[in-house]
Amino acid sequence: MGLLKLRIQRKSTGIHESSGDWLFLSLNTLFLLVILLVVLYPIIYIVSASFSDPAAVTAGEVTLLPVRFTLIGYEKIIQYPTIVQGFLNSAFYVGVGSIVNVAMTILAAYPLSRRDLPGHKLLGAIFFFPLLFSGGLIPFYLVVRDLGLINTRWALIIPTALSIWNVLIAVSFFRTAIPEELFEAAQLDGCSDFQYLLRVVLPLSGSIIAILFLFYGVWHWNEYFNALIFLRDQSLFPLQLVMRDILILGNMDMNMLTDIEQQVIQQALKEQLKFTVLVVSTLPVLLAYPLVQKYFVKGITLGAVKG
């Protein structure tokens, strides 16, 4: 199959392309270039504004490239205590949260993937049903409140300890990627289910573990709503919630950045800092992105195959 495909592609990349096809391919390339432009432009604009002179930003002079290049926004941002604190908090939620998530997901997905487990269909239905129906925001909030998790770090970890979608993806992986013969052989050797999971399945599951860490990690880094409803103290806020205050509500205490006095410059800098915050907060994800992109694609494709 693969060979055949290769041959066709080689054939069609040759000079055999008819003039109509040539036109079509050119238009197609043009179309994709326009799409690229539409996707890239806002990103370039935001990045350029973050490196531009604050006065140029508020005057609307930035259209594509940085105007009067400066790093002042970045110098100021690392002095802004709540952003630094938010960064550290987010790192905690991503780190601890993802470890809990991945452990829980494997604990759930491995047994569910075993078709010889009596009741695996019923258990699967119990896991699946909450995707279709939920009690809603308020009853969920009341459970978290009654457990005393409000305004603690655990409020962002325990109530979201498991994503059912990711369990489905992991079940699909265990069913397709681990050969059943291995289990039969291990069982003949007197291997228990615990041992089999630890010594045979997990060492073969590197890719799904990577996928799960990425899914959960990005989710934790980007999440703000649970923090909004569960946390009160600013000292616990993840970066996204700090950013919401700055970007959406426009709350930025410029007095925290002492050395600037002139009102006009302060005002301009305030606007420019918003661009800087956007860049800084997205940087960790976008830096890792080229390396991990293929795992995401793999994870999504895995999710589409019903286990």
Partner 1 sequence: MNFINKSTTRTISEISDRDTASAVRKNGIRYLWSKMRRRWQLYVLLVLPLAYLITFHYVPMLGAQIAFRDYSVRDGIWGSEWVGLENFQRFFDSYLFERLVINTLALGIFTLGAGFPIPIILALSLNQVRTQFFKKSVQMIIYAPYFISTVVMAGIVIQMLNPRFGIIGQLGEQLTGRSTNLLADPTWFQTIFVGSGIWQTAGFATVIYLAALATIDPSLHEAAVVDGASRFQRIIHIDIPGILPVTTVLLILNIGNFLNIGFEKVLLLQNPMNTSVSEIIDTYVYKVGLASQTLDFSYATSIGLFKAVIALLLVVSANYIVKKMGQEGLW
* Token representation of residue 176: 């397709």
Minimum distance of partner 1 from residue 291's CB (angstroms): 11
Q: Using CB under 8 A, which of 57, 67, 252, 257 touches partner 1?
A: 57
**To the nearest whole angstrom, how small is the minimum distance from the Cβ of residue 141 to partner 1?**
6
Residue type present at position 296: F
| Residue 193 engages partner 1 in binding (rule: CB under 8 A) | yes
291 binds partner 1 (CB under 8 A): no
- Comparison of 194 and 259: residue with beta carbon closer to partner 1: 194
Applying CB under 8 A, which part among 81-89, 205-213, 241-249, 251-259 lies near partner 1?
Answer: 241-249
* Closest distance to partner 1 from the beta carbon of 258 (Å): 25
CA 85 to each of CA 23, 137, 150: distance values in angstroms, whole numbers, following the listed order: 55, 28, 19
Measured distance CA(96)–CA(154) in Å, rounded: 10
Residues 248-277 that bind partner 1 (CB under 8 A): 248, 271, 274-275, 277
Q: Report the number of secondary-structure helices (H) and strands (E) in the chain.
A: 14, 0
Is the Cβ of residue 230 or residue 258 nearer to partner 1 in the bound state?
230
> Which of 58, 85, 207, 266 lies at the binding interface for partner 1 (CB under 8 A)?
58
Which residues ranging from 81 to 140 are in contact with partner 1 (CB under 8 A)?
104, 107-108, 110-112, 114, 116-119, 123, 125-128, 130, 132-140
Q: Give the C-alpha separation, 170 to 202, whole Å.
A: 12
Binding-site size, partner 1 (CB under 8 A): 103
Residue 45 makes contact with partner 1 by CB under 8 A: yes
Could you tell me which of 231, 273, 232 has the C-alpha nearest to residue 250? 273
Q: Output 162 or 212, the one with its CB closest to partner 1.
A: 162
For the CB of residue 224, give the shortest distance to partner 1 in the complex, in Å: 5
Smallest CA-to-CA distance from 306 within 149, 175, 178, 183 is with: 175
User: What φ, ψ does residue 76 adopt, rounded to 5°?
Assistant: -70, -35
Rule CB under 8 A: is residue 169 a binding residue for partner 1?
no
- Supply 203's token pair: 């060492």
Residue among 109 and 259 whose Cβ is closer to partner 1: 109
Q: Check if the beta carbon of residue 84 is closer than 8 Å to that of residue 243.
A: no
Our finding on whether 304 is near partner 1 (CB under 8 A) is: yes
Residues 145-164 interacting with partner 1 (rule: CB under 8 A): 147, 159, 161-162
Q: How is 92-114 classified by DSSP, letter by letter?
A: HHHHHHHHHHHHHHHHHHHHHH-
Query: What is the Cα–Cα distance from 51 to 66, expressed in whole angstroms?
Result: 6
Shorter beta-carbon distance to partner 1: residue 40 or 88? 40
Q: Which stretch binds partner 1 (CB under 8 A): 76-84, 177-185, 200-208, 293-301?
A: 293-301
Return d(Cα 271, Cα 273) in angstroms, integer.
5
Determine which residue in the list 222, 254, 260, 295 makes contact with partner 1, applying CB under 8 A.
222
H or E segment to which residue 130 belongs: helix 120-132
Least Cα distance to 216 among 278, 149, 140, 295 occurs for 295
Min. distance of Cβ 159 from partner 1 in angstroms?
Answer: 5
